[in-house]
Amino acid sequence: MPRVRVPLAAGRLWLDFVNTEEAPRHAHADTLRSFDSYLAWLESAALLDAGRRAALQRRALEQPASATAALHEARRIRGTLRPLAEQGVNASERVTQAAIIEINRVLGRSAGVQRVEHDPRDGSFQRAFLSGGDAFAALVIPVVESAADALVSGELSRVRRCAAEPPCPRVFLDTSRNGRRRWCDMKSCGNRAKAARHRAAARVGPRKPPMP
């Protein structure tokens, strides 16, 4: 069973989903490298429990074409949402409309029932959506609903791309009071940026006092 590293630190589900492709130019960095990896990410995002994941894995063995199609669709949706996340309110009309069309297409098939589920391990309660259609195709619905919520609530103005150098492709929701957060994670990109500034200052050295 593949191990998936998903920090879930972006602040919103759809942004965490976009971040599953941390380096779009390098295929090896894709968390959604297989349907099994896709299920593992969904479980880590609390969208599946272990039992449902195992059931879907068994079903994927019986219906490999459907599982592959669902994986490819998830990647396509992610590719449509990434430009919207990276550009935020500055996104072009083409980027915005492409995202809206994709969102509405997925929401249009979200027939099913909602229920509340109880996790006896920690006593928590969670909402769950049981699709009345294709179980594989329905997996991405919560992600798309999260993106739709961001558009409707006006959160897009707070969506940022990490400003770290070398470039970090992660996106995040800036919840800081002044709206000036620059890095996806202070412990990684933020600390590296501060260390780089420190090294640059050390190379320059202290300023010499002006000549009298």
Residues 115-169 pLDDT 10s = 787 778 788 887 776 666 688 989 999 999 999 999 999 999 999 999 887 778 8
Per-residue pLDDT for 5 more than 50? no
The predicted structure's pLDDT at residue 4: 46
DSSP letters for 100-140:
HHHHHHHHTT--EEEEEEEETTTTEEEEEEEESS-TTGGGG
Neighbours of 44 (CB within 10 A): 17
Work out the pLDDT band at 184, boundaries 50, 70, 90: confident
Mean pLDDT calculated for residue range 68-92? 96
The predicted structure's pLDDT at residue 136: 92
Per-residue pLDDT for 206 more than 90? no
Residues 92-109 pLDDT 10s = 999 999 999 999 999 988
The predicted structure's pLDDT at residue 32: 94
Q: What is the dihedral of CA 113, 145, 98, 20, to 10 degrees?
A: -120
DSSP letters for 15-63:
HHHHTTBS-TT-GGGBS-SSHHHHHHHHHHTTSS-HHHHHHHHHHHHH-
Work out the pLDDT band at 176, boundaries 50, 70, 90: confident
Residues 13-48 pLDDT 10s = 999 999 998 755 454 578 999 999 999 999 999 899
